[in-house]
Amino acid sequence: MRIEAGALNNAGLEDLAAKYGLSSRQLRCVIEQEYGVSPIELAQTRRLLLAKQLLTDTNLRMADVAFASGFSSVRRFNHLFGSRYGLNPTSLRRHGQVSASADAIVLKLAFRPPLAWTHLAGFLGSRGACAVEAVHGAHYQRTVRIGRYCGWLTATPIHHQNLIRAEISPGLMPVLPQVLVQMRRLFDLDANPQVIESQLAQTAQLGHLVRRLPGLRVPGAMDTFELAARAIIGQQVSVKAASTLFNRFAAAFGETITTPQPGLTHLSPSAERVAEAPLQGLIDLGLPAKRAQTLQGLARALASGQLRLEPAANVEASMAQLRELPGIGDWTASYIAMRALRDPDAFPQGDLGLMKALKLTKPKQLLAVAEAWRPWRAYAALHLWNHLNAGG
């Protein structure tokens, strides 16, 4: 949610409510009904939880802990920490084990097991630009831009623990809450596999697939424009061809960045830069003219604020807006909803791969079969795609 990502750190409740078309009073009522606390209390709790993690897991200075957690001053941080926990931050740190890394902020992200990390990382690594995103063994790496802050991150599962070790560049410290929320979305760490798989495993088409590969997640996105651009670039071409085209796209329109990871040299192109680019520059990458126009149309819609692609948005409304853009049909809109909007029930109903995996010939047949998978059809699609890619 946006509050967890720090939406109230530098803006008021009125600004946040306006993004949802609500009044501040309406948003306050919704949050109090859902969480039993006010928006401010919820934001304070999120800040304190992150501060506790930074105190025990890192060697950041106390001032850096305060500001990275979203507090406007060290004094305010110390006061709230003391009133809430009955101790000062320094005493908590003395009893914790801190990271010795000086080159990165090292934190641990928890998840509900199981987690099919190899398949998750492989899915991400096979579809990105190697200069933006890469997988080396169990290590996932990528560059990151959030607003005016840029950097990189690395994620690795900790053996025999339900934790992901995240290394985040210090340059992203001012937007650390947002980075952590987006990482959880990227790796789908808030999913509850037992709930999802207990339903999918009961169906004849998916039971053996779920039992063979428990913990399969729906990959999200660190950058929703990047994800949507990949979906458009990949229309009517193979995954390998789409990756080649996206590599060219990133090299041509992404800014360069220095990272300690060999090969990670570019930030993913921003919607603003693509919106202003000459159309011929996109065509020269090897894109058909109509697909280049679709890509630029999407970039302009996002850059202007006409379209928002984020998990908190109204999924149906966002999909309808996507389909209004020339060149974006049901499949592309559904795929974006799966990964960028985080809709667990989004389903690309006309997908040829899904029909092939189930030996079906018509989209209507696929939709009929998929009814039994609601509200987890996105996870069902991932299982079927994985089965097909494995030669099943």
Q: What residues act catalytically? A: 351
In this structure, are residues 228 and 325 in contact, taking their beta carbons and an 8 Å threshold? Answer: no
Angstrom CA distances, 344 to 134, 378, 382, stand at: 25, 5, 11
Closest CA to 30 of 15, 50, 13: 13
User: What's the token pair of residue 369?
Assistant: 């079969």
Closest CA to 77 of 54, 59, 97: 54
Sign of the C-alpha dihedral, residues 197, 337, 171, 45?
negative
154 bridge partner residues: 141, 167
What does residue 63 show for φ and ψ, rounded to 5 degrees?
A: -65, -40
